[in-house]
Amino acid sequence: MLRLEDYAYALPEEQIAQEPLPRRDASRLLLLDRATGEVGHRSFVDLPDLLDPGDVVVVNDTRVVPARLLGRKRTGGRAEILLLEAMGEATWRALLAHAPAPGGVVDLGDGVSATVLAREGELGTVRISAGAENVCAALARLGRMPLPPYVHRVPGDPRDALDRERYQTVFAREPGAAAAPTAGLHFTPEVLERMTARGIGRTSVTLHVGAGTFLPFRGAEVAEDHLLHEEPFHVPEEAAAAIAAARARGGRVVAVGTTVTRTLETAGEEGGTVRAGAGRTRLFLRPGSRFRVVDALLTNFHLPRSSLLLLVCAFAGRERTLAAYREAVAAGYRFYSYGDAMLVRGNP
């Protein structure tokens, strides 16, 4: 039994990053050795020098949808809808706050509305009506970036335009995410070019991140009582081939983020390769889980008592991970989505 109280740590509120740094690759990078627990401190711009020629870096090319919709019920009260996954052009699974019962309508402005089709607790299904306008265009115009609740914004915040650019990776391509794969936010074209020049490969998979990935455990004291929300993923043939080629030449598979890690381990096979194809995953990697594919993990710092922190602890060890987190706090690292990064490497 994994007690969640054993996966908590203290963090001053002022170390929760509220906006990105002026340059993506200016973030700090904490190094953690899985074998020794040794910690080092670098900058993200140094990443190409910390990897070896022949390694392959796997990124998540999902693109964040402006999925946070604010509106009013026909009764006048406010409602909020966070789109999680498209079920058709106009129908979405969603998180609902103060929304009406099934059959109720939320006016989103400019003639666009959302009808609640079904609801179970905070989860539901909505249909977006945009008249003659394309639904995706309406969402892009009216929706806000679905920042996590610890990043504080007010309506009309002047940082909204910045969020639309920076809460998105430079390699984002496939629309569908309700949250950013935050480990990828640090990459710049310059860092990617230096990786290529050094002989480090790069390939992409897609996992459309749902908000449930980032939520702390609710109403549970042990991790085993928690289920992750299901998320769709796709491993292209070229990604499977790139991973197999890296494995054959003795290179490492470097996962950029917990979403890539969950995708690769869901599709993983004995020998460290992966199956190409699409599917859905609710894989919950936690201490005791086995990693068949991922050799090194680039990740941000995560919320206490969260599934993401448990994944990192599963990969690097609980004591070493929490010790590294304590050192990061003491050294003034910036935490969470817009914060600094951590590279976990070495044989366990």
Residue 224 to residue 277: CA distance in whole angstroms: 28
H, E, C per residue of 198-259: CCCEEEEEEECCCHHHHCECCCCCEHHHCCCCCEEEEECHHHHHHHHHHHHCCCCEEEECHH
Tens digits of per-residue pLDDT, 240-269? Answer: 999 999 999 999 999 999 999 999 999 999
Tell me what pLDDT residue 345 has.
96
Q: Which of 147, 155, 189 is nearest to 20 (CA)?
A: 147
The amino acid at residue 140 is A
Distances (CA, A) of 159 to 234, 274, 301, 331: 32, 40, 22, 27
Tens digits of per-residue pLDDT, 37-74? Answer: 999 999 999 999 999 999 999 999 999 999 999 999 99
Give the pLDDT mean for 335-340: 98
Residue 289 to residue 96: CA distance in whole angstroms: 33
b/e map 106-130, b = 16+ CB within 10 Å: bebeeebbbbbeebeeeebbbbbbb
Minimum mean pLDDT among 122-126, 179-183, 221-225, 340-344: which range? 221-225
Cβ proximity of 227 and 211 under 8 Å: no
Model confidence at 24: pLDDT above 60: yes
Cβ proximity of 10 and 329 under 8 Å: yes
| pLDDT band, residue 216 (cuts 50/70/90) | low
Distances (CA, A) of 317 to 18, 261, 298, 323: 29, 16, 15, 10
Tokens of 212: 């449930």
Average pLDDT, the chain: 93
Cβ proximity of 93 and 84 under 8 Å: yes
Helices 307-316 and 318-330 cross at an angle (nearest 10°) of: 110
Beta strands in the chain (DSSP E): 28-33, 39-43, 56-60, 62-64, 68-73, 78-86, 91-97, 105-109, 112-120, 123-129, 174-177, 201-207, 231-235, 253-256, 277-281, 296-300, 341-345
Residue 207 to residue 209: CA distance in whole angstroms: 6
132: exposed, middle or buried (C-beta count within 10 Å: 0-12, 13-18, 19+)?
exposed
Cβ proximity of 180 and 168 under 8 Å: yes
Q: Side by side, which strands form the sheet with 277-281?
A: 39-43, 28-33, 341-345, 296-300, 253-256, 56-60, 201-207, 231-235, 277-281
Tokens of 289: 């889980």
Strand partners, 16: 335
Tens digits of per-residue pLDDT, 128-151? Answer: 999 878 888 898 899 999 999 999
Check residue 99 and report its DSSP letter: P
Model confidence at 214: pLDDT above 70: no
Torsion of CA 343, 192, 231, 155, to 10 degrees: 90
